[in-house]
Amino acid sequence: MADSYNPDSEPTTRTLLRRVLDTADPRTPRRRRSAWMSAQKATPETHSSNRQNSGTKTTVRRSQRIRSVSKSAHVQASRQLEEQTPRTLLTNILLTAPESSIVMPEPGVKPLPTPKVAQSSRRESSRGSLELQFQELEPSITVAPSRLALGKRKQRLRLSVFQQEVEQELPPSHEPCGNADASSLTSSLNLTFTTPLQPQSVQRPGLARRPPNRRAVDVNAFLQDIQDTSLALAAPGDNLRTPVATLPTDMVLEDTQPFSHPLVGPSPSAPPSLPCSSHTGAEDVVRLVRHGPQCSSSGVQNKKDGAVPFQDGVHEAEEKMEESWRVNKEKETTTQRPAGMEESEVHTEPEPEGSLGTMDISGKAASPELASSIPEFLQARQLHQLLEQAPPPSTAALSSEPLEPQLTRHPPKARTPSSRSRQDPYKIGLNHYMKFFTFYAKMPMEKKALEMVEKCLDKYFQHLCDDLEAYAAHAGRKTVGPEDLELLMRRQGLVTDQVSLHVLVERHLPLEYRQLLIPCAFSGNSVFPAQ
Amino acid sequence: MAPSTTVSQRKLIKRKAPRGFLRRVFKRQKPHLRLGTGGDLLVHLNCLLFIHRLAEESRTKACEDKCGVIKKEHVMAAAKVILKKSRG
């Protein structure tokens, strides 16, 4: 049955079922479900109910494994799997349905959540596998939001129809539903669903390729389906159970969403995105992201039953939201940063007039602000600096700044050396001997004492020069020789019969000077300095 | 105040002689005379001895006043004695 129905409705049914029901649930069951939904609704339900009691988890896992092995095998096994999968779907629906029926007031909200669920299912599928995420998310946002909306609506219709039909046939299905409810309530079922989803994502790369085509096909069929669904929704309103069933279907979808709980979160974003389908993908993404948290909160409220799956879904939804936010932020940053660029440029503009240094500083200051900003900013800066203001101010600043500082610097430099030359050459020498004084004193001394030492040195040099002049003049020479100094030192009492000049030289002068003053014999029968 | 007014004892000192400075000083004092080779070194030696004596004298003066720091008065008293001794 599924095979015959699949070729006709494969694209639409597959996409719809996948999106709507759950990416988490095996996709084949979804397709089969859609086929069954259209053709056979009661038969699979019965089978599913019977088998569900035995164990839905094992069936789902088997179906996934078979799919991974080969597509042909999938087709053959798909029948069995389809039965199993519809079972799971029905069980989920049933499980959720009773809850929703109990809640009752929710039915009014049904139309909105269904599209949300559809989007969420798509997102979930994308979440399941990274490849799927990229493909699905991008097309959903950019390519055909309208198509998505249509698909969502179609999904609603089909789900509602299924649910209605199922409800009509409910008596058999409800019993399994109770079992399924227990299983679904338990985290184990949720875990089982989640685990199969991951392998699917891994195996899906081939599957991922299909969705776009299916979507394209879906659009046409979905439009009709949507109309039908709208009519059906209006009509089923007459039957009390039908609305309840529709509501539970939504609920079921949400519940099945355990994987999809995140779906529920983003799903609310879908309705806003639908009207905005004409808008750019970026706007849709932003809206989706903004609505996301609200949706997640709503989904959590609706599905208080399964806290664990909700949390998982919420985490997934948050991750998706973060990704979408990143994209939005990037866009926002791109949009906002130009403003920042302008601001920074404005800041830089006045500064360059002042000086190049300020330009650099401003650029540096702006850079941290826009650190994350884009090369565009840098380019803009360069343009502004190079083209407009930077060159003239740079030249002016270069000419003005360096010249001024040079002028200011050079004179002080000239002054300092001049002042040193004027004062210091003599004082520096005196300082050198004052250091000797501090060294010989071997005691701390006041600065005023040093000033006195300086005066004493000054007087000493005067007396020294006068004495040397007198000695040289007395000897009839105009050149002051060592003998004059030796005589002076002898008169000063420094050189005595016990202490000769050479001894003093050896005591107080370093070796280099001693070699120059004390004659010494070298090899080759030479004496230096010559006497 | 203490660190600013007082100069601590030097542990290390350059023993290099400012020969250029000595020659310039002599030339400025006695432009018509020239200082023979090695004369500047002997002048440097003489000046070192003078400083040495002056420092020792001032230190003795400070010790006589039982003062740990060489003050201006101590240097004055020492200079009066040493300058008289160092007359040529």
Please report, for the domain that includes residue B45, its CATH number.
1.10.20.10
A258, burial (CB in 10 Å: exposed 0-12, middle 13-18, buried 19+): buried
Return the top range by mean pLDDT from A14-28, A148-162, B6-20: B6-20
CB contact under 8 A, B21 and A479: no
Angle (CA) B86-B87-B88 rounded to 5° is 110
With contact defined as beta carbons under 8 Å apart, do A46 and A172 qualify?
yes
Asked if the structure places residue B71 within a domain, the reply is: yes
CB contact under 8 A, A452 and B72: yes
Full 3-state SS string of A185-200: HCHHHHHHHHHHHHHH
Phi-psi region of A444 (alpha: psi -120 to 50; beta: other; left: phi over 0): beta
CB contacts, 8 Å: B24 with chain A: 425
**In the predicted structure, residue B50 carries a pLDDT above the cut 70:** yes
Span A340-383, pLDDT tens digits:
444 444 444 444 444 444 344 444 444 444 444 444 544 545 54
Coil, helix or strand at residue A522: strand
Asked if the structure places residue B11 within a domain, the reply is: no
Number of domains composing chain B: 1
Coil, helix or strand at residue A527: strand
Asked if the structure places residue B1 within a domain, the reply is: no
Which two tokens mark B53?
């004596």
Query: A-contacting residues of B 40-69, CB under 8 Å?
Result: 41-52, 54-56, 58-59, 62, 68-69
Q: Pick B36's closest partner by Cβ from A426, A453, A482.
A: A482
Inter-chain CB pairs, A–B, below 8 Å:
209
Q: Which of A23, A33, A87 is nearest to A57 (CA)?
A: A87
Asked if the structure places residue B60 within a domain, the reply is: yes
Which two tokens mark A342?
């302008």
Alpha-carbon distance of A3 to A5, in angstroms, equals: 5
Residues in chain A: 531
CB contacts, 8 Å: A463 with chain B: 83, 86-88
Mutation target for A interface from B29, B42, B82: give the one with most A CBs within 10 A: B42
* Count of other CB atoms within 10 angstroms of residue A67: 24
| DSSP E strands, A359-469 | 445-446
What DSSP character marks residue A24? S
CB contact under 8 A, B15 and A466: no
Asked if the structure places residue B31 within a domain, the reply is: yes
The parent domain of residue B26 ranges over 19-86
Mutation target for A interface from B63, B75, B80: give the one with most A CBs within 10 A: B75
DSSP character string of chain B = -HHHHEEPPPS-------HHHHHHHHHHH-TT-EEPTTHHHHHHHHHHHHHHHHHHHHHHHHHHTT-SSB-HHHHHHHHHHHHHHT--
pLDDT at A15: 63
Alpha-carbon distance of A107 to A111, in angstroms, equals: 8
Contacts (Cβ under 8 Å, ≥6 apart) of B14? A432, A435
User: Greater confidence, A280 or A18?
Assistant: A18
Asked if the structure places residue B59 within a domain, the reply is: yes
Query: B-contacting residues of A 488-507, CB under 8 Å?
Result: 488-489, 491-494, 501, 504-505
Alpha-carbon distance of A144 to A15, in angstroms, equals: 14
Nearest CA in chain B to A512: B16
Angle (CA) A437-A438-A442 rounded to 5° is 110
**In the predicted structure, residue A135 carries a pLDDT above the cut 60:** no
Alpha-carbon distance of A133 to A148, in angstroms, equals: 15
The CA distance from A342 to the nearest CA of chain B, in Å, is: 56
User: Greater confidence, A490 or A167?
Assistant: A490
Alpha-carbon distance of A463 to A473, in angstroms, equals: 15
Alpha-carbon distance of A303 to A118, in angstroms, equals: 17
**In the predicted structure, residue A419 carries a pLDDT above the cut 80:** no
ipTM: 0.94
CB contact under 8 A, A446 and B70: yes
User: Greater confidence, A531 or A390?
Assistant: A531
What DSSP character marks residue A528? E
CB contacts, 8 Å: A446 with chain B: 5-7, 69-72
CB contacts, 8 Å: A478 with chain B: 32-34
With contact defined as beta carbons under 8 Å apart, do A358 and A322 qualify?
no
Residue A71: alpha-carbon gap to chain centroid:
40
* Count of other CB atoms within 10 angstroms of residue A370: 18
CB contacts, 8 Å: B68 with chain A: 443-444
Residue A301: CA count within 13 A, CB half-sphere = 8
The CA distance from A498 to the nearest CA of chain B, in Å, is: 16
**In the predicted structure, residue A118 carries a pLDDT above the cut 80:** no
Contacts (Cβ under 8 Å, ≥6 apart) of A254? A96, A113, A117, A260, A261, A263, A264, A299, A302, A303
| Residue A86 backbone dihedrals phi, psi, to 5 degrees | -55, -35
Nearest CA in chain B to A518: B38
Q: What percent of chain B has pLDDT over 70?
A: 95
- Least confident range from A218-222, A420-424, B45-49: namely A420-424
Residue A110 — pLDDT band, cuts 50, 70, 90? Answer: very low
Residue A75: alpha-carbon gap to chain centroid:
44
DSSP character string of A385-417 = IIIISSHHHHHHHHHHHHHHHHHHHHHHHHHHH
Q: With an 8 Å Cβ cutoff, is B77 touching chain A?
A: no
Full 3-state SS string of A434-496: HHHHHHHHCCCEEHHHHHHHHHHHHHHHHHHHHHHHHHHHHHCCCEECHHHHHHHHHHHCCCC
CB contact under 8 A, A451 and B86: no
Compute the radius of gyration of chain A from its Cα atoms.
48
**In the predicted structure, residue A162 carries a pLDDT above the cut 80:** no
User: Greater confidence, A410 or A520?
Assistant: A520
Q: Which helix (H) or strand (E) holds A22?
A: none
Residue A195: alpha-carbon gap to chain centroid:
29
CB contact under 8 A, A509 and B68: no
Alpha-carbon distance of A18 to A31, in angstroms, equals: 7
pLDDT at B53: 92
| DSSP E strands, A335-483 | 445-446, 479-480
Alpha-carbon distance of A85 to A73, in angstroms, equals: 16
CB contacts, 8 Å: B17 with chain A: 509, 513
Alpha-carbon distance of B46 to A505, in angstroms, equals: 10
CB contact under 8 A, B87 and A445: no
- The model carries a pTM of 0.36
Residue A505 — pLDDT band, cuts 50, 70, 90? Answer: very high
Between the alpha carbon of residue A518 and those of residues A481, A510, A513, the distances in Å are 14, 12, 9
Alpha-carbon distance of A467 to B26, in angstroms, equals: 11
The CA distance from B81 to the nearest CA of chain A, in Å, is: 11
**In the predicted structure, residue A234 carries a pLDDT above the cut 90:** no
Q: Which of A345, A259, A353, A349 is nearest to A309 (CA)?
A: A259
Residue found by looking up tokens 């010494």 in the block = A520
Asked if the structure places residue B55 within a domain, the reply is: yes
The CA distance from A525 to the nearest CA of chain B, in Å, is: 22
Contacts (Cβ under 8 Å, ≥6 apart) of A329? none
Span A165-185, pLDDT tens digits:
666 765 544 444 444 444 444
- Residue spans of alpha helices (H) in A169-256: 170-185, 187-203, 205-234, 241-256
CB contacts, 8 Å: A509 with chain B: 15, 17, 41, 44-45, 48
Q: Which of B37, B2, B87 is nearest to A488 (CA)?
A: B87
Asked if the structure places residue B67 within a domain, the reply is: yes
